[in-house]
Amino acid sequence: MERRAGQPGGFTLLELVISITLVVVILLIVAGATTLGYRAVGSGERRMDADERLRASLMIIDAQIQSAAPLTFNQGGTKEYYFKGDRESLRLSTNYSIWGGQRGYVIVAYKVETDTKGKRVLSASENKVGTEADTQETRLLDNFDEIFFEYRVQEDADKEKGEWIDQWSEKTVIPQSIRLNLVRAGSRFSVIVPMRVEGTIGQIESDETEIEDRD
């Protein structure tokens, strides 16, 4: 078929420029949407991983506190519990190990510290009763604005009521329960774990729970 005189034989330069511009814009839009989608998926996966780790760590802490055993040692001729707690640290004897499950008694020590980003983290170290050899340590919680412990003092008149304190100074008494407080982005989340065994050494002591100090 012959081309008539005066009929254009192809695209003009302006039409090519407009077409290329439209293609580039469409590609940029598609690329941006794809990138946002990948970021959303990645963020969601990281959030799920963080939530799963938080749940697993809280389950470990709950299991160790509820499995706490009232073990004692001799300190200058006086029997004391291994239990010791303040706002940023907690030590107790338990038969639930982070690494071994229920395989004998261990001493676990939780410690709140500040990382290089200024966030609060909770680490746990663990060793067998009577020795500090083969101490193992791991980080359980991180990326919080604040992490702190509180301890409930039991009132004999009413077991449902009690005062929360952040410094446990008693050496022969175990608190009624422990509260772990987590603060992030202005929101506070608390976990209350009851102590299965509570009271004074004279009330709950037995020959099987006494461990002599080897030092």
Rg (CA), the chain: 31
Q: Where does the pLDDT of residue 21 fall: very low under 50, low under 70, confident under 90, or very high at 90 and above? A: confident
Q: What is the pLDDT, as a whole number, of residue 184? A: 93
Side-chain half-sphere CA neighbours of 157 within 13 A = 3
- Region of poorest pLDDT, from 83-97, 158-172, 199-213: 199-213
Cα–Cα distances (Å) from 18 to 25, 26, 125, 192, in that order, read 11, 12, 66, 66
Taking only the tens place, the pLDDT of each residue in 51-99 is: 888 999 999 999 999 999 888 888 777 788 889 999 999 999 999 999 8
pLDDT of residue 207: 40
What's the pLDDT tens digit per position in 108-126? 999 999 999 999 999 999 9
* Half-sphere exposure at residue 178, Cβ-oriented, CA atoms within 13 angstroms: 30
Q: Can you give the pLDDT at residue 152?
A: 92
Strand order of the β-sheet with 106-114 is 84-86, 89-94, 106-114, 120-128, 136-144
- How many angstroms separate the CA atoms of 80 and 195, rounded? 17
The residue behind tokens 């690494």 is 99
Which of the 8 DSSP states describes residue 130? T
Beta pairing partners, 164: 152
**Which of 37-46, 61-70, 172-181, 185-194 shows the lowest mean pLDDT across its residues?**
37-46
Give CA 60 to chain center in angstroms.
9
Per-residue confidence (pLDDT) for residue 156, from 0 to 100: 56
